[in-house]
């Protein structure tokens, strides 16, 4: 029940619209009931050949109710869908805000397909939550009470019969449908998530699947997941069919019971014969309100399951806690790393082990070492994607936890080899770093990373569409676009993670030469496996298993003939063998 109230809490900003929607929904059914009841009165009365004057009110009533029913139906759809779309917008913004706080530390444990299913599929499931699950129930409550009182004003026993029939079809039957469809509805949401993950993996790995001739195996897996999804859908369809059949039986049974009780009342003079016809048709029309309730019962469990999956993620404690009163980040920050240790998971080895690094403003250092030595981890901690444990990172003597992560990241230009290229234009990919940048700024940073001539060859220049994940461009161009995006920030600190990956030797040499001028008055932390162009840096730190095993400039490290010298020799031998 707590989950239901929490889900309904998203509707608080829409209370007024929900009230209007409920009124228009009830008015639609009421107009339909009034139309049939008035028509029954008109037809039954006309059988006794009264004067037209006696029937004029009923004639006008039929016309009015016929028109108003259509008007109320239109308003009901208009208002209810307005509520629905507003609710959908609220849910999406809320969930995105939750993901912002969780990324990236809390999201690495989820598969991309699962995240996609929650962000799109589960929210789309809640898309019809109000229209199908909430509004019909509210309207049914009003209709059951209102129509039963109306019939009861003519005869109490008939009023109670209608109240019993509407209660069973509107509440008891949907409760049974909910119980029987609960399993398939939950399974359907889960299977859709699995299907989404399977399809995403297949599409992302299409090239490898074709290369290794695994098409049949992938197709078999997709078919298996699809069949499981179909079984859940069939289970829901069976319960819906049973519900529709039982609804029809109960409707006709209530009408028959009305006649069974009403006919003797007409014979004894307790009820007018014309009113019996009116009551019977009102009874039949009243059950229109119960038809959507059975669908609501089916939809209820799938909505709750989708909500559970969303809340499961949103309720996680963020890895990074925002300070209550953040301190302003200095314009020229000095960074100190003291006794820093970190591990990504409790059963994994330390990625950083008691590190001590000084980065006064303007200092330029390189982090080198084998894969898994902890280089990228240091960049992640400086960006506050994670917090160190134990140890501390100080900026001008203040713990990094006292700064706003958003403001801190505005002071840091971060370029990683896994940076995203979005499926949009070159311009929009660059403006991600600086939305207010002019075309001249974009062309300047592209020219600085040796892409100026390339941009001139593009069919639409900066407005050229790059395609999904930048598949239309080479790996080297993709890497340099990411670097240009980072440079566009014009930050005082830059963290570069393998910025020359995928570049040919000539371009790499020109780019490293350009680094000297670009980062002349900035702090720089450069992660690299390529031990070239490091002679101008202030310090090189050699890492191994999360520890700094050597430090110094290139000249002193080569003279000491330690670990850096060994890596240097291995790289040179490989270069000569090529």
Beta-bridged to residue 392, according to DSSP, are 338
> Please, which pLDDT band fits residue 75 given cuts at 50, 70 and 90?
very high
Whose CA is closest to 464, among 475, 454, 479?
A: 454
Of 202-206, 429-433, 481-485, 516-520, the range with the lowest mean pLDDT is 202-206
Cβ–Cβ contacts within 10 Å for residue 578, how many? 5
Is residue 49 predicted with pLDDT exceeding 80? no
Q: Which tokens belong to 409? A: 């990241």
pLDDT number for residue 428: 92
Measure the CA–CA gap between 201 and 120, rounded to whole angstroms: 17
pLDDT number for residue 269: 85
Beta-bridged to residue 369, according to DSSP, are 543
pLDDT number for residue 408: 92
More confident of the two residues 300 and 478: 478
User: How confident is the model over 30-41, as pLDDT tens digits?
Assistant: 898 889 888 888
312 touches 98 (CB < 8 A) = no
pLDDT number for residue 233: 83
Q: Which tokens belong to 502? A: 């995928």
pLDDT number for residue 396: 94
Is residue 469 predicted with pLDDT exceeding 70? no
More confident of the two residues 535 and 233: 535
Is residue 577 predicted with pLDDT exceeding 60? no
What is the maximum alpha-carbon separation in the chain? 120
> Please, which pLDDT band fits residue 560 given cuts at 50, 70 and 90?
very high
Strands (E), 290-403: 335-342, 352-359, 364-369, 392-395, 398-399
User: How confident is the model over 307-337, as pLDDT tens digits?
Assistant: 888 898 888 888 888 898 999 999 999 999 9
pLDDT number for residue 578: 53
Q: Which residues contact 61 (CB under 8 A, 6 or more apart)?
A: 34, 38
* Terminal-to-terminal C-alpha distance of the chain: 68
User: How confident is the model over 477-507, as pLDDT tens digits?
Assistant: 888 898 999 999 989 999 999 988 778 888 8
More confident of the two residues 102 and 430: 430
> Please, which pLDDT band fits residue 413 given cuts at 50, 70 and 90?
very high
Is residue 552 predicted with pLDDT exceeding 70? yes
pLDDT over 90 percentage in the chain:
29
Once rounded to an integer, what is the mean pLDDT over residues 508-517? Answer: 87
pLDDT over 70 percentage in the chain:
97
> Which residue reads 């400086």 in tokens?
382
DSSP 8-state assignment for residue 129: I
> Please, which pLDDT band fits residue 188 given cuts at 50, 70 and 90?
confident
Measure the CA–CA gap between 89 and 94, rounded to whole angstroms: 9
Q: Which tokens belong to 566? A: 């060994």
> Please, which pLDDT band fits residue 379 given cuts at 50, 70 and 90?
very high
> Which residue reads 């016309």 in tokens?
63
Of 60-64, 149-153, 172-176, the range with the lowest mean pLDDT is 172-176
Average pLDDT score over the chain: 86
> Please, which pLDDT band fits residue 564 given cuts at 50, 70 and 90?
very high
Is residue 344 predicted with pLDDT exceeding 60? yes
Is residue 198 predicted with pLDDT exceeding 60? yes
> Please, which pLDDT band fits residue 574 given cuts at 50, 70 and 90?
low
Of 209-218, 273-282, 546-555, the range with the lowest mean pLDDT is 209-218
Is residue 299 predicted with pLDDT exceeding 90? no
Between the alpha carbon of residue 357 and those of residues 438, 543, 547, the distances in Å are: 37, 12, 11
Name the region of 346 (left: φ>0; alpha: ψ -120 to 50; beta: rest): alpha
């Amino acid at each position: 029940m707590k989950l239901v109230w929490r889900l309904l809490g998203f509707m608080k900003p829409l209370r007024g619209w929900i009230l209007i929607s409920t009124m228009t929904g009830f008015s639609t059914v009421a107009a339909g009931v009034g139309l049939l009841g008035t028509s029954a009165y008109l037809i039954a009365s006309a059988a006794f050949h009264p004067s037209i004057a006696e029937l004029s009110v009923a004639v006008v009533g039929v016309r009015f109710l016929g028109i108003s029913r259509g008007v109320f139906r239109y308003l009901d759809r208009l208002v209810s869908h307005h509520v629905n779309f507003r609710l959908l917008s609220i849910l999406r913004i809320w969930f995105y805000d939750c993901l912002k706080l969780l990324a990236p530390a809390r999201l690495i444990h989820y598969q991309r397909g699962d995240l996609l299913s929650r962000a799109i599929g589960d929210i789309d499931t809640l898309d019809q939550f109000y229209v199908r699950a909430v509004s019909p129930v509210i309207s049914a409550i009003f209709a059951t009470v209102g129509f039963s009182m109306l019939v009861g004003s003519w005869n109490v026993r008939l009023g109670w019969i209608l109240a019993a029939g509407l209660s069973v079809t509107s509440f008891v039957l949907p409760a049974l449908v909910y119980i029987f469809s609960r399993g398939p509805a939950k399974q359907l949401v889960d299977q859709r998530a699995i299907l989404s993950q399977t399809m995403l993996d297949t599409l992302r790995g299409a090239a490898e699947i074709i290369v290794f001739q695994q098409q049949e195996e992938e197709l078999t897996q997709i078919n298996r997941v699809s069949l499981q999804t179909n079984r859940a859908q069939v289970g829901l369809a069976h319960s819906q069919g049973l519900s529709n059949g039982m609804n029809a039986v109960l409707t006709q049974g209530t009408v028959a019971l009305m006649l069974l009780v009403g006919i003797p009342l007409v014979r004894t003079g307790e009820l007018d014969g014309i009113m019996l016809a009116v009551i019977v048709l009102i009874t039949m029309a009243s059950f229109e309100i119960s038809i959507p309730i059975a669908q609501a019962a089916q939809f209820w469990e799938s909505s709750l399951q989708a909500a559970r999956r969303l809340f499961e993620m949103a309720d996680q404690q963020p890895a990074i806690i925002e300070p209550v009163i953040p301190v302003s980040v200095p314009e020229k920050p000095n960074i100190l790393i003291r006794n820093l240790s970190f591990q990504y998971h409790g059963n994994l080895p330390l990625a950083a082990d008691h590190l001590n690094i000084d980065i006064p403003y303007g200092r330029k250092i390189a982090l080198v070492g084998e894969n898994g030595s902890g280089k990228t981890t240091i960049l992640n901690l400086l960006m506050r994607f994670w917090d160190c444990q134990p140890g501390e990172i100080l900026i001008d003597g203040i713990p990094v936890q006292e700064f706003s992560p958003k403001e801190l990241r505005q002071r840091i230009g971060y370029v990683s080899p896994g940076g995203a290229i979005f499926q949009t234009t070159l311009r929009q990919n660059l403006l991600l770093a600086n939305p207010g940048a002019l075309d001249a700024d974009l062309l300047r940073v592209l020219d600085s990373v040796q892409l100026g001539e390339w941009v001139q060859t593009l069919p639409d220049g900066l407005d050229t569409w790059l395609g999904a994940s930048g598949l239309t461009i080479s790996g080297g161009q993709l890497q340099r676009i990411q670097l240009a995006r980072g440079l566009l920030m014009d930050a005082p600190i830059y963290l570069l993670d393998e910025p020359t990956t995928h570049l040919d030797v000539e371009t790499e040499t020109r780019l490293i030469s350009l680094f000297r001028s670009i980062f002349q008055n900035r702090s720089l932390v450069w992660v690299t496996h390529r031990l070239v162009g490091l002679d101008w840096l202030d310090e090189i730190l050699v890492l191994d298993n999360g520890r700094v095993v050597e430090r110094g400039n290139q000249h002193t490290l080569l003279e000491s003939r330690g670990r850096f010298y060994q890596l240097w020799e291995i790289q040179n031998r490989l270069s000569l063998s090529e």
